[in-house]
DNA sequence: AGCTTGCCTTAGACCCTGTCCAATGTAGGG
DNA sequence: CCCTACATTGGACAGGGTCTAAGGCAAGCT
């Protein structure tokens, strides 16, 4: 976490109160907040922070590879701070909750050359869908 | 295709000109149109069709499992009519073009029970990202 | 074929997510 | 402590999608 702030400073990031708060809000496992949720949590600590700044900061964090953008449902994008431990997502079809998962095997290896249509394939992202324990009850 | 229309009629679908046109527009392989694209192609044949009807019809087709919704990039959702032949998607990170692919193996089998967090896991969706031949050139 | 009924369609207002801009503020090097 | 380039702000704007009230029409019934 403060490793994150250090890395960013090394990269020439001007460290402002707003950016610090956004980074803090995104800390943790199984965190997948929308930009709007990030904004309201950040505003709880720094009331004058603007939506534009939250969007700017999130975009920069994504570009620097510190945060991964997840489009689960075509509505708001979600931001996953756990970018340095590769993982996939399991999401509840009913309530939309998300968990990070670590499947075995490498999905990239499962795409035969005959199926790659001449693409240079770079990555594979797996989304599992199901019903979470709370919704099943 | 007219199998589709038959199935829908059996399910109590009132068969209108608008719905027929939407279904026709969505026919084919590697078809991944946005709602807006569906609307303009449908309007080419039936000029007075409204956006609302296209959205309604697409939603119904998705609910009935005849069409799959694909959220690739957080922008417009795309609609894939090839719902009865299970497949995954390969998309170009640069231009956004999409191909249907059929990887080997079953990603569902790669999620150990210890990683399922009590969910009833129903399906796995794999998205491959890369650069298409046109964009690589 | 004509009637009836309830489902469909329509246009347009509206909402949500996200981007852009010009004006103002401030981190951090000198 | 000052300067300046980089950040932040709020508000306007754009794209994608949903909702609603009013009128239209498919299909079952006679």
Domains of chain B by start residue, with CATH:
2-80 (1.10.10.10), 88-136 (3.30.1490.190)
Q: Do B111 and A105 touch (CB under 8 A)?
A: no
Q: What is the pLDDT of residue A78?
A: 96
CA B34 → C1' D7, Å?
36
How high is the pLDDT of residue A56? Answer: 98
Which residue in A105, A10, A18 sits closest to A66, CA to CA?
A10
Which bases of strand C have any atom within 7 Å of the beta carbon of a protein residue?
Answer: 7-12, 16-21, 26-28
Nearest protein residue, CA measured to C1' of D5: A14
Q: Where are the beta strands (DSSP E) in chain A?
A: 33-34, 68-70, 78-80, 88-92, 98-101, 120-131
Q: Look at residue A73 in the predicted model and tell me its pLDDT.
A: 82
- List CB contacts (< 8 A) between A127 and chain B: 124-127
Q: What are the residues facing A32 on neighbouring strands?
A: none
- Per-residue model confidence (pLDDT) at position B50: 98
Calculate mean pLDDT across residues A104-120.
94
Nearest to B51 by CA among B62, B63, B35, B67: B35
Q: Which of B46, B49, B56, B57 is nearest to B23 (CA)?
A: B57
B129 to chain A, minimum CA–CA distance in Å?
Answer: 5
Confidence of residue B2 (pLDDT cuts 50, 70, 90): low
Count CB neighbours of A133 within 10 A: 12
Residues B101, B104, B109, B110, Cα dihedral to 10°: -80
Contact (Cβ atoms closer than 8 angstroms) between residue B43 and residue B49: yes
Name the closest residue (CA) to the C1' of nucleotide C9.
Answer: B53
Instruction: Look at residue B3 in the predicted model and tell me its pLDDT.
Output: 80
Straight-line distance from the first to the last Cα atom of chain B, in angstroms, rounded to the nearest whole number: 37
Split at pLDDT 50, 70, 90, the class of B46 is very high
- Model pLDDT for residues B85-127, shown as the tens digit of each residue: 999 999 998 888 999 999 999 999 999 999 999 999 999 999 9
How far, in Å, CA of A111 to CA of A26, rounded? 33
| Interchain pair B99, A119: CB under 8 A | yes
What's the rounded Cα separation, in Å, for the pair B41 and B36? 9
Separation of alpha carbons B4 and B14, rounded Å: 13
pLDDT in tens, A48-78: 999 999 999 999 999 999 999 999 888 899 9
Total Cβ atoms within 10 A of residue B15 = 12
Bridge partner list, A131: B120
């Amino acid at each position: 976490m403060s490793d994150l702030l250090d890395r960013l400073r090394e990269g020439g990031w001007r460290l402002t109160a707003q950016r610090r708060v956004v980074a803090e809000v995104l800390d943790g496992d199984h965190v997948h907040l929308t930009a709007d949720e990030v904004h309201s949590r950040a505003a709880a600590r720094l009331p004058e922070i603007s939506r534009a700044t939250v969007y700017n900061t999130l975009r920069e964090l994504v570009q620097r590879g510190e945060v991964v953008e997840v489009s689960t449902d075509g509505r708001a994008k979600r931001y996953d701070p756990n970018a340095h431990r590769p993982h996939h997502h399991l999401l509840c079809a009913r309530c939309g909750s998300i968990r990070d998962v670590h499947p075995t095997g490498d999905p990239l290896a499962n795409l035969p050359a005959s199926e790659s249509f001449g693409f240079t394939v770079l990555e594979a992202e797996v989304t599992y869908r199901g019903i979470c324990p709370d919704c099943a009850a």
